[in-house]
Amino acid sequence: MANVFQVTKGGLFDDKEIYTASGSIYPGRLIKYASGSTVTFCGSGDVPMGFAYGLRSSVYTPTSNEFANGEACSFVWGMGTCLASSDLFMGATLATANQTVYAGDNGQMTTTAGSNKKVGVCEAVDVRITATGGTGGTQSLSRIRFDINPYGT
Q: 38-41 and 5-20 as β-strands: parallel, antiparallel, unpaired?
A: parallel
d(CA 29, CA 110): 12
- Map out the domains of the chain with their CATH numbers: 5-148 (2.40.300)
DSSP single-letter state for residue 116: P
pLDDT tens digit sequence for 117-139: 999 999 999 999 888 777 888 99
The residue that leads in pLDDT, 88 or 58, is 88
pLDDT tens digit sequence for 68-85: 888 888 899 999 999 999
